[in-house]
Amino acid sequence: MKKQKIGFELSVYDRKEDLSQIEQKLLSEAEEARENAYAPYSNFKVGAAVLLENGEIVIGNNQENASYPSGLCAERVAIFQTGAKYPGVTIKSIAISATSNDYVVDKPAGPCGNCRQSIIEYEQKQKSPISLLLSGEKGQIFKCDSVADILPLAFSNSFLTDS
């Protein structure tokens, strides 16, 4: 038996202004989107903005339901809309921003496990990394260079055949 360390480098930004222009714009789109979230049950509003290689930005926000499991996270609303509207166009980056009606979200919100799995499907399909910008409404901003960084040992379609 041997132990193997796996890990990744996280970029940490103290201020939004330290991001590149396009990253700032993407994050602003996520912040704007989160304000339109439909989250009457959790009061926790999330916005996501997907940047494509053609320069288009696709947004999403969480959509809740009185039957709780029927709702959907912001990231999946955004990534599925991207797949529907721009099939085959390479995804460069996704910005995520979270706020709450009840308290100040002062740390970056990472995507839930289901969203990580949903996003990595596209990363595997396009064979190029999708970077993630994670933020709250204030405080630090985290950047991951690839979804694979935050979903180690991910399941993929390679397991569905023996080739």
Residues taking part in catalysis: 75
Among 83, 108, 111, 136, binds ligand THU (CB under 6 A): 111
Q: What's the rounded Cα separation, in Å, for the pair 141 and 69?
A: 29
Taking the least distance from each CB to ligand THU, the nearer of 46 and 147 is: 46
Check the annotation: does 81 bind a ligand: no
Element (H, E) at 26: helix 21-35
How many Cα atoms sit within 13 Å of 116 on the Cβ side? 17
> Nearest approach, Cβ of 75 to ligand THU (angstroms)?
5
Q: What's the rounded Cα separation, in Å, for the pair 134 and 100?
A: 15
Element (H, E) at 116: helix 113-126
Among 44, 49, 108, 122, binds ligand THU (CB under 6 A): 44
Check the annotation: does 20 bind a ligand: no
Q: Is the CB of residue 96 less than 8 Å from the CB of residue 30?
A: yes
Structural tokens at position 97:
């921003």
Q: Is the CB of residue 144 less than 8 Å from the CB of residue 132?
A: yes
Among 24, 42, 100, 146, binds ligand THU (CB under 6 A): 42
Structural tokens at position 107:
């740390």
Check the annotation: does 62 bind a ligand: yes
Span near ligand THU by CB under 6 A; candidates 82-90, 107-115, 123-131, 149-157: 107-115
Among 33, 73, 91, 130, binds ligand THU (CB under 6 A): 73
Check the annotation: does 144 bind a ligand: no
List contacts with ligand THU (CB under 6 A).
39, 42, 44, 46, 62, 64, 71, 73-75, 111-112, 115
